[in-house]
Amino acid sequence: MKDLFFDAVVIGGGAAGMAAALELDAAGLSCAVIEREEQLGGILTQCIHNGFGLIEFNEELSGPEFAERIEEKLQGTNIRSFTSTTVMELDAGSENKVLFCYSALWGVLRLSCNAIVLAMGCRERNRGNIRIPGDRPAGVYTAGLAQRLVNIEGYVPGKDIVIIGSGDIGLIMARRMSWVGCKVHAVVEILPYPSGLTRNIVQCLNDFDIPLYLSHLTTNIIGRDRVEGVEITPLENGALMSDKAFTIPCDTILLSVGLVPENELSRMAGVELNPMTNGPLVDSMLMTNVPGIFACGNVLHVHDLVDYVVEESRRAGKYAAQWLKGRRPVREVRVKAGANVRYLAPVRVDVQADNKLYMRTLIVKNDAVLEVRVNNRVVKSIRKNHIQPSEMIQLQLSPKDLESVLSAPDPVVEVSIN
Amino acid sequence: MQNASGPFDVCIIGAGVSGANIARRLSAYDLNLALVDSEPDVSFGVSKANSGIVHGGFHHNKKHLKARLELQGAMMFDRLRQELDFPFKRCGIVVAAMHEDEMRAIDQLYMQGVDNGVIGIEMCSRERILELEPKLHPDTLGGLWVPGGGIVEPYRFVFSLVENAVQNGVQLLTGFAVSRAARQGELWQVEAADGRTLQARYVVNAAGLFADKVSAMFGAEDYTIKARKGEYYLLDRMTKAKPDRVVFPVPTSVSKGMLVIPTVEGTVLIGPTAELVDDKRNLATTKDQLDKILSSARTMIPAVSEYDVITSFAGLRPTLDEDFYIDMSAKVPDFVQVAGIQSPGLTASPAIGEYVKDLLKKAGLKLLEKASYDPFVVKRPHVKDLSPYEVDELAARDPAYANMVCRCEKVSEAEIVAAVKAGHTTLDGIKYFTRAQMGRCQGGFCTYKIIKIIMRETGLSWEAITKNSNASQILKDVL
């Protein structure tokens, strides 16, 4: 068994993991990236469509191009990357943190380190998670699996397609399947508004005349051996209109019904999770409740743009490096999700530092106001032209914004949207 | 497609848990045996989707054959596990009573259990039952404790039985859908839908849901097998609702009720419902039934949550009468009926093997013990059960043991290859054999990897990759 020591180990070699590792390396620390797939880049490698990098690189790139841009930066650094390698056990209890990794190339590796950055990303919710009843034939796939099959393996999983859920991957796949000659009959969304980005609705559905059924529930899957159809029922005021149910004949159902951060290893290490995000609860340095374990990217909360993932992960890498060198938050205070706010990450801010938070709203609204209160007194107020749950909101809180915390007894910072 | 040699001494129709036990038991003797199944793999019928319970022997009165076979079969599992290396654990069974009327029913179950000779059966007060199973609802009034009850992976049990039977000379013919039979002198001529034929001296009808059809093809007894559907939810292994014991409600007159089962492999199964259906291929789940499962399970274990659901599925039980129908046909010669094997069929199955062997002996089959009979299968390593140090040693010999294919259930490439080499070449066959695709992502991440391994190991083209039947094609085109 190979035994190795690093200052920090980054779990996951997608955009998040690579970005975090680059910062650790830049701070002069030894660092390893563990990636279970054969190459770095994570899910970006199968996202051959454009739309990545508008913020990060100020140009429009495909997923593989975006991944390559970051991967190139790894050249010439001291970062050790282990691909085809899966972290199987994580012990944060002893003096050093210890990871056992299984690898087709290296056999079993035992890595010891002082800090870990969790960057494992997320997985797709599946049919079972949303409990669609009916037959269980071949032809029901998650959109991401279909994307892998088409874009990397070169197989077309079906010809007549219905997409359940209007998440971004589903919308992208509606366009992709149309391009390879398939007929996409419909995209079905349970909510009264789409779950994906507006630009994807326009570019992937409207441009291809693919109907979007909002407020419709998938109530049955039909087909013994292979999918033959899917039954859709409209919802009116939350009630199922069973008499208005209809069946769309198809041979394939693609599911794009949400993403869940993959925190199995985090749990193994004793990391506390936020039930609203299924990701770790982190402090102002993006550190979990387990000292020395940091989290960033989609394992922390599901982002809508990889550009945001990279920005956040760079901070996580920096913070991990600073933590290893002894920096600790000066004075932290909890941030509460107030009215119409789904979640905030991180959940603590440092009163004496510049804080950046990502958040999601629960509502769709034009001319909304985002308010930050300290013990019920508004300290910051921001106008937003348009907000919706599918688009993340960024919030900066400076020491000046949080000045009043210093004099307040039991201070609570609350963020709300009205 | 494999052609049959022969003529055979015995042809067993149906490679479910009954047929597999009969074949494996008979393989200890100097006989030429055929085991045929209409599906592309074994255990693809009734035996793949059920509760996976080794029952406690208290649910049925011993005047029934099924109760006697249940008691006898249940005792045989420890030895079988040693020989056949399938997941089995005696975790014990509790029956939870939620109110006074149910306590009276518990009383009767207890007396029946004692009368049947169930070892270690106990009546429990509230304190005792909550100590045995702390996940039970705090308002549980009391119940029954049967320490000998257990859990088993039914398909893995069948796979091991068949593997061992084949090792001992049984010829397995899958995709062999019996379509016609005729008497030729002293032999049965059995014909499959694809044109293959075989000849056998004796025929055992263990065709599960289709035993009635097979019986008719042979001109034997006229009866009707009805399918009773049972729907289930499978919960993530991380659920807070995982009990230590199999948790039963107090049974009703028609069913043992909906259970909460900690599976041997760490997930939790809740169900089944019980609903007669006309179509014997109807394995669809329905919203109404699934909702019933959740609410029923919650009355016993409040921590059951719909957020832990990773999949739902349904199985069909082949019901005939109240009891099993296992006998020589009175209408045609040399034909054994093994029909109506519903619950507790899995538990009783090893004893069914014994029972059918004895029936055949009485009918004139010569049973000469074979010196070469080996009751053991070769144990295969499972990465998820090994320490990193053990995996390191394995990987030194075969690096594929350290190449993880299924992250959720921790299945390595080497295990997938072993499944393919053992003849499991559909995605479902590999799932039941290795557990890959059975975890929380339900194959979202590993399906494409498994497809590639099947193609590499078998030389099959993309068109031949299926879920579980020839028509269940996974891919429709290439770019």
- Mutation target for A interface from B470, B474, B478: give the one with most A CBs within 10 A: B474
Nearest chain A residue (CA) to B446: A145
List the single residue in B309, B412, B413 with the smallest CB-CB distance to A131: B309
> Residue B443's domain is classified under what CATH number?
1.10.10.1100
For residue A161, give the nearest of A125, A185, A130 by alpha carbon.
A185
Collapsed DSSP state (helix, strand, coil) of residue B28: coil
> B6 and B49: one domain?
yes
What pLDDT was estimated at residue A197? 85
Distance of alpha carbon B330 from alpha carbon B333, whole angstroms: 8
pLDDT tens per residue, range B424-470: 999 999 999 999 999 999 999 999 999 999 999 999 999 999 999 88
Instruction: Provide the number of structural domains found in chain B.
Output: 3
Q: Is residue B68 located within the same domain as residue B98?
A: no
* The last residue of a domain, from among B379, B394, B411: B379
Check whether residue B337 and residue B303 sit in a common domain: no
- Cβ–Cβ pairs < 8 A, chains A and B: 144
User: Residue B474's closest CA among B447, B445, B449?
Assistant: B447
Q: Do B475 and A157 touch (CB under 8 A)?
A: yes
Q: Which of A123, A127, A224 sits opposite B281 (nearest CB)?
A: A224
Closest partner residue to B287 among A128, A133, A154, by Cβ?
A133
Rounded to the nearest 10 degrees, the angle between the axes of helix B17-26 and helix B154-167 is: 30
pLDDT over 80 at B254, yes or no: no
Of the candidates B374, B412, B415, B446, the one whose C-alpha atom is nearest the C-alpha of residue B164 is B374
* Confidence band of B114 (pLDDT split at 50, 70, 90): very high
Task: Examine residue B188 and state whether it is found in any structural domain, yes or no.
Answer: yes
Residue B29 has pLDDT above 90, yes or no: yes
* d(CA A308, nearest CA chain B) in Å: 24
A126 with B469: Cβ contact below 8 A = no
Within a domain: B354: yes
pLDDT tens-digit series, residues A50-77: 999 999 999 999 999 999 999 999 999 9
Mean confidence (pLDDT) of chain B: 96
**For residue range B46-100, what is the model confidence (pLDDT) as tens digits?**
999 999 999 999 999 999 999 999 999 999 999 999 999 999 999 999 999 998 9
Average of pLDDT values for B403-421?
Answer: 96
**Interior/surface letters A113-138, b for 16+ CB within 10 angstroms, e for the rest:** bbbbbbbbbbbbbbbbbbbbbbbbbb
If asked whether residues B143 and B280 sit together in one domain, one would say: yes
Query: Last residue of some domain: B303, B318, B333?
Result: B318
Distance in Å, alpha carbon of A375 to nearest chain B alpha carbon? 35
Q: In sequence order, what are the residues at sequence separation of 6 or more whose Cβ sits closer than 8 angstroms to the Cβ of residue A83?
A: A13, A35, A37, A38, A39, A40, A105
Per-residue burial over B257-271, b if 16 or more Cβ lie within 10 Å, else e, is: bbbbbbbbbebbbbb
Which residues of chain B have a CB within 8 Å of the CB of A150? 479
Pick the residue from chain A with its C-alpha nearest to B471.
A225
* Residue-level pLDDT at A95: 78
Provide the whole-model pTM. 0.94
Report yes or no: A204 and A195 within 8 Å, Cβ to Cβ: no
B283 and B364, same domain (yes or no): no
Please state the rounded mean pLDDT for residues A85-110: 93
Task: Give the three-state DSSP class for B266.
Answer: coil
Quick: pLDDT tens for A115-155. Answer: 999 999 999 999 999 999 999 999 999 999 999 999 999 99
B479/A226 CB distance under 8 A: no
Predicted local confidence at residue A196, as pLDDT: 87
Q: Tell me if A124 and B444 make a contact (CB, 8 A cut-off).
A: yes
| Residues with Cβ within 8 Å of residue A303, at least 6 apart in sequence | A297, A309, A312, A358, A392
CB B475 to CB A251 under 8 A?
no
Contact B306 A158 (CB under 8 A): no
**Known catalytic residues of B?**
55
Please, which residues bridge with residue B260 across strands? Answer: B247, B270
Listed in sequence order, the residues at least 6 apart from A144 whose beta carbon sits closer than 8 Å to its beta carbon are A43, A46, A124, A169, B444
SS3 of residue B214 by DSSP: helix
**Contact between residue A315 and residue A285 where contact means Cβ atoms under 8 Å apart:** no
pLDDT given for residue A213 in this prediction: 97
What does the DSSP assignment read for B416-459? Answer: HHHHHHTT--SHHHHHHHH-TT-STTTTTTTHHHHHHHHHHHH-
pLDDT at B1 over 80: no
A24/A8 Cα distance (integer angstroms): 8
- State the greatest distance between any 2 C-alpha atoms of chain B, in Å, as a whole number: 67
Which residues of B are less than 8 Å from A275 in CB distance? none
Radius of gyration for the alpha carbons in chain A, expressed in angstroms and rounded: 22
Average of per-residue pLDDT across B19-43: 97
Q: How many angstroms separate the CA atoms of B199 and B462, rounded?
A: 35
Q: What is the mean pLDDT of residues A368-377?
A: 95
Verify that B309 and B456 share a domain, yes or no.
Answer: no
Min distance B416 CA to chain A CA atoms (Å): 14
Q: Which residues from A are below 8 Å from B472, CB to CB?
A: 137-138, 225-226
Domain assignment present for B477: no
Given a cut of 70, whether residue B288 has pLDDT beyond it is yes
- Strand A365-374 relative to strand A377-387, pairing: antiparallel
Confirm if B201 and B184 have CB atoms less than 8 A apart: no
Which residues in chain A touch residue B454, judged by CB atoms under 8 angstroms apart?
none
| pLDDT for the residue B301 | 97
Helix (H, G, I), strand (E, B) or coil at A77: coil
Across the interface, of A88, A133, A264, the residue whose CB is closest to B388 is A88
Shortest CA gap A275–chain B (Å): 11
Q: Where are the alpha helices (DSSP H) in B239-279?
A: none
B462 to chain A: nearest residue by CA?
A155
Specify whether the CB–CB gap between B171 and B26 falls below 8 A: no
- Token pair, residue A338, equals 């107030």
Would B168 be classed as within a structural domain? Answer: yes
Q: Domain containing B254 — which CATH number?
A: 3.30.9.10
Closest Cα in chain A to B441:
A126
Q: How far is A219 from chain B (nearest CA, A)?
A: 8
Is the pLDDT at B361 greater than 80? The verdict is yes
Best residue in A2, A4, A85, A88 to probe B by mutation, most B CBs within 10 Å? A88
The reported pLDDT for the residue numbered A166 is 94
DSSP state, residue B471? T
Domain that holds residue B268: 89-150+226-318
pLDDT of A165 over the 90 cut:
yes
Q: Residue for token digits 């996202």? A: A47
Same-domain check for residues B232 and B313: yes
- In the structure encoding, which two tokens stand for residue A343, read together? 């979640």
Cα–Cα distance between B368 and B366 in angstroms, integer? Answer: 6
Residues B25 and B78 in one domain: yes
**Cross-chain Cβ contact A129/B478 below 8 Å:** no
Residue A356 has a pLDDT of 97
Domain boundary among B353, B379, B405: B379
Chain A residue numbers with beta carbons less than 8 Å from the beta carbon of B234 are 128
Instruction: Give me the percent of chain B exceeding a pLDDT of 90.
Output: 96
Interchain pair B234, A128: CB under 8 A: yes
Q: Do B207 and B250 share a structural domain?
A: no
The string of pLDDT tens digits covering residues A202-247 is 999 999 999 999 999 999 999 999 999 999 999 999 899 999 999 9
Kindly state whether residue B206 falls inside one of the protein's structural domains.
yes
Distance from CA of B248 to the nearest CA of A (A): 24
pLDDT (tens digit per residue) in A246-280: 999 999 999 999 999 999 999 999 999 999 999 99
Q: pLDDT at residue B255 above 90?
A: no
Residue B458 lies in a domain: yes
Average pLDDT rounded to a whole number, residues B360-373: 97
Residue A417 to residues A8, A143, A253, B6, B273: CA-CA distances in angstroms? Answer: 38, 32, 36, 79, 46
In percent, how much of chain B has pLDDT > 70? 100
- The residues near A396 (Cβ < 8 Å, ≥ 6 apart) are A354, A355, A356, A357
> What pLDDT is attached to residue A187?
97
Q: How far is A356 from chain B (nearest CA, A)?
A: 31
Average pLDDT over residues A34-50: 95
Question: Is residue B473 domain-resident?
Answer: no
- Parallel, antiparallel, or unpaired: how do β-strands A229-236 and A246-249 relate? antiparallel
Sequence-separated (6 or more) residues with CB below 8 Å from residue B312 = A128, A131, A133, B231, B232, B233, B234, B285, B290
Contact B473 A123 (CB under 8 A): no
Same structural domain for residues B8 and B84? yes
What are A80-94's pLDDT values in tens digits? 999 999 999 999 987
Is the Cβ pair B287, A219 closer than 8 Å? yes
Q: List the Cα angle A392/A393/A395 in 5-degree steps.
A: 145
**What would the two tokens of residue B137 be?**
């609802």
Of A142-151, A203-212, A329-338, A404-413, the poorest mean pLDDT is in A404-413
A238: helix, coil or strand? coil
**CATH at residue B345:** 3.50.50.60
In a domain, B476, yes or no: no
User: For chain B, how are helix, strand and coil distributed in percent, rounded to 5?
Assistant: 35, 25, 40
Question: What is the band of B253 on the pLDDT scale with cuts at 50, 70, 90?
Answer: confident
The answer to whether residue B164 scores a pLDDT higher than 80 is yes
Of A100, A106, A138, nearest to B388 by CB-CB distance is: A100
Residue A408: per-residue pLDDT:
84
> Are B98 and B219 found together in one domain?
no
Q: Assess whether B199 and B297 both reside in one domain.
A: no
| CB within 8 Å: A102 and B412 | yes
Interface touch A133/B284, C-beta < 8 Å: yes
pLDDT tens digits, one per residue of A168-212: 899 999 999 999 999 999 999 999 988 888 889 999 999 999 999
